[in-house]
Amino acid sequence: MPNLQTMKLTYKFLSAVLILTITSLFVSQAMAQDPIPNPGFEDWSGGEPVGWNTINQNIFGTDFTCVTRDQSNPHTGTSCAKIQTITENIFIVGPVTMPGILSLGEITLDVINQTGTVTGGVPINTRPNILKGWFRYLPAAGDSCIMGIGLSRWNGTGRDTLAYGYKTIGGQNPDWQEFSLPIDYLLWEMPDTMNIMFFSSNLLTGSPVTGSVLYVDDLMLEYGPVSVSNTGKMNEMILRYSGDDRIIIQNPGNNPTEVRLYGLNGSCVGVVKSDPGQSEIGMDVSRLRPGIYIARMLNSDGSFTSMKFNRL
């Protein structure tokens, strides 16, 4: 029997959500429809908000109900979502702490191996640039919550990560406050799937802390220009191969300070920093498997440039 007393959950979404990239887009607000189901959390069925998934489940005969409907103090309407980190005693095992998780994707928890995944989402055919909503947060000591959004597209054989955005919020926030979560694009393509997630505890920095409570309500997507100052920089990045399994990356007129390589699943596979005044960066790719990767360059003026390349 594994030690479940400090159950740690590793989510594919969270490993990829750390990616921050640039792009620019223009979408008419009037023409775009909000694809978020039940954004005000007014409709509930079977203990879950309609259109959403929760981590609520029964483990070895013990109920973990981390997400509930709160009707005592919604931002608007008659209800909001209450997401909390709780601890329950499992027979023989003892106390187990479970973070509250609310997601548009399917949540799968493997208790035996102490891991979990979140996959899928809802259909989308627009490119939003901001996720907005309202929240209240009452954390236990030292804890913080996570809000995240991911956009992806099926490429015929697998799913490409197109864009991500996330935010961690700590401290006592007992009153309703608006949050604004910018969405940063890794690949400039149209998504077909969107996932939005809320965590009552910060799984990126440690174990969940029992007693943390996050309330969310009135979600919406916003459309408009993003990172307009970086328009056109996608074509300025130059990437070439040297003869020793290295790639050389440069951006004429704007010296790079750092280059990160990402796989299409969103995982970072390499980081190289440059010296002051260096005009190009070299990176060893001999250990990379053949496939498509994204090179993301931080320029000296603070802007970012991304390019897709094929590792042969």
Please give the chain's pLDDT, 312 residues, in tens.
333 233 334 333 333 332 222 222 223 333 345 689 999 999 999 999 999 999 998 888 889 999 999 999 999 999 999 999 999 888 887 888 889 999 999 988 765 555 677 888 999 998 888 899 999 999 998 999 999 999 999 988 888 888 888 899 999 999 999 999 888 877 767 899 999 999 999 988 778 899 999 999 999 998 764 332 233 344 457 777 776 778 888 776 667 788 888 776 667 788 888 887 777 888 888 888 877 787 877 777 666 777 777 776
| R_g of the chain computed on alpha carbons | 21
Hey, what's the torsion of the CAs at 169, 171, 174, 177, to 10 degrees?
-40
CB 101 within 8 A of CB 198: yes
Q: What is the pTM assigned to this prediction?
A: 0.67
d(Cα 116, Cα 31) in Å, to the nearest integer?
Answer: 37
CB 251 within 8 A of CB 237: yes
Angle at 296 between CA 291 and CA 302, to 5 degrees: 180
The Cα-based distances of 175 to 138, 179, 184 in angstroms read: 10, 12, 28
CATH number of this structure's domain 12-222, picked from the four choices 1.10.240.10, 1.10.3720.10, 3.20.20.105, 2.60.120.890: 2.60.120.890
Domain range annotation of the chain: 12-222, 232-311
Neighbour order of strands in the sheet with 213-222: 67-70, 80-84, 213-222, 130-138, 173-182
- In this structure, which topology does domain 232-311 adopt according to CATH? Immunoglobulin-like (2.60.40)
